[in-house]
Structure 1
Amino acid sequence: MKFYWIKTNLLIKKLFSNYVWDIPNTENKIYLTFDDGPIPEITEWVLQELKKHNAKATFFCIGNNVEKYPNIFLKLINEGHSIGNHTFNHLNGWKTSTEEYLENSNRCETAICNLQTANCKLFRPPYGKIKALQAKKLRQLGYKIIMWDVLSADYDTSISKEKCLENVLNNVESGSIIVFHDSVKAFPNLEYTLPKVLKILTEKGFVFEAIN
């Protein structure tokens, strides 16, 4: 099994302080985020679960999926959730030239802006992998680079759904940005984990907000 941080290390946050890892607050606000959509049925299921708890979230969308499923994308907006750029083709920044990465990200922004009037200036690099120059150029274009404080690891097919739930519940705190995936691969873990996260954390007094 590959190594990854479930709770992002404080040293990492300090080393890469130009990225947003969490949003500290005293109001028990936490921030659910979903990567890789919109995907038919799965993203719509996520929306249904969020609505049950009056929860808002942030969806980092792949431009190609936005173009293929515009009605689902518009549903995200109409239901009051925030939208972020996740590149057009889910590019790994470490393996991509800066020029190509920026062009691909701009293509995603175009797909998003063709369907909504407001500019989308939240960005999450696929895999969390982005070169310093790529990030600098994106920030110069007005983007905030949104990373995470808690990784559910729902995409990891080698872990159990119970472990996925534990990853979130044992590490969340006020201000946490939590990563889920509205994808086919992650759905077996997501389907089990998300309803329980929403119920348990709501009962503990947490409030689910979208990232502005």
Structure 2
Amino acid sequence: MNFYWIKTPQIIKRLFSNQVWDIPNTENKIYLTFDDGPTPEITEWVLEILKENSINATFFCIGNNIEKHPEIFNKIINDGHGVGNHTFNHKNGWKTTTADYLQNVELCESAIKNQLPKAFGTKIRNLFRPPYGKIKPSQSKKLRNLGYKIIMWDILTADFDEKTSKEKCLENATKKVTSGSVIVFHDSVKAFKNLEYALPKTIQILKEKGFVFDVIQ
């Protein structure tokens, strides 16, 4: 049985304060993020929804998917969204040696750099999100020493969970959002049933509450 929090408890944020769980600000900014792409059709659908609403988000991409679908990855960049590293093969840090984990991160980094226009330089290469949120302290420390910001989340929509209804996913995505919240969706086949229903409504509800969407820097 999988266990996870929808709203990350403050004690977790304090215990693992070297990782970014939210981004406090005074401008009511929040941060939509999408994990596991680029995925044909699904990522492109997400990009259309974002464009229709004139907002930008941050995509934590799997290196293998970048290599398989470079045209979709380039569309993410060209549409003005941020990108981050999500390992090359969606590695579970708890089940992977630190050396193997770092190598997998570097493989993803290479996939990102091979696709990024030269004009971007290195300004967006420092974001990393561990798949499943599972990362050992030794892995976290080494990645931070390499200059990565480890981006976790404040709100987990649970769109990936087949036991989560689309209505519950929407509630998860909107009910406890506060200024600075980092919100996780997944642009994956597994999550699409919930994502397709919840994402447009989430954007509408959060806009009506006065939130402004931004890219993680």
TM range (shorter): over 0.9
Q: Report percent identity of matched pairs.
A: 70
Query: Offset of 1:3 from its aligned partner?
Result: 2.0
Query: Offset of 1:151 from its aligned partner?
Result: 0.3
Q: 1:124 maps to which residue?
A: 129
Distance 1:50 1:173 in 2: 20
Q: 2:169 aligns with which of 160, 164, 171?
A: 164
Letter in 1 for 2:145: Q
Secondary structure in 1 aligned to 2:60? strand
Q: 1:86 maps to which residue?
A: 86
Distance 2:68 2:95 in 1: 25
Distance 2:11 2:23 in 1: 17
Secondary structure in 2 aligned to 1:83? strand
Q: 2:188 maps to which residue?
A: 183
Query: Offset of 1:197 from its aligned partner?
Result: 0.6
Letter in 2 for 1:189: N
Letter in 1 for 2:72: I
Q: TM-score, normalised by structure 2?
A: 0.96
Instruction: Answer yes or no: is 1:33 the counterpart of 2:38.
Output: no
Q: 1:196 maps to which residue?
A: 201
Query: Offset of 1:52 from its aligned partner?
Result: 1.2
Q: 1:50 maps to which residue?
A: 50
- The residue correspondences of 1:113-152 to structure 2 (distance < 5 A) are 113-116=113-116, 117=118, 118-119=121-122, 120-152=125-157
Give the length in aligned residue pairs: 212
Instruction: Answer yes or no: is 1:155 the counterpart of 2:156.
Output: no
Letter in 2 for 1:75: K
Distance 1:13 1:201 in 2: 23
Distance 1:204 1:166 in 2: 14
Structure 1 unaligned regions, length at least 5: none
Instruction: Answer yes or no: is 1:103 the counterpart of 2:103.
Output: yes
Query: Offset of 1:205 from its aligned partner?
Result: 1.3
Query: Offset of 1:105 from its aligned partner?
Result: 0.3
Q: 1:207 aligns with which of 195, 206, 212?
A: 212
| Superposition misfits of 4+ residues, deviation over 4 angstroms | none
Q: CA RMSD in A?
A: 0.7
Structure 2 unaligned regions, length at least 5: none
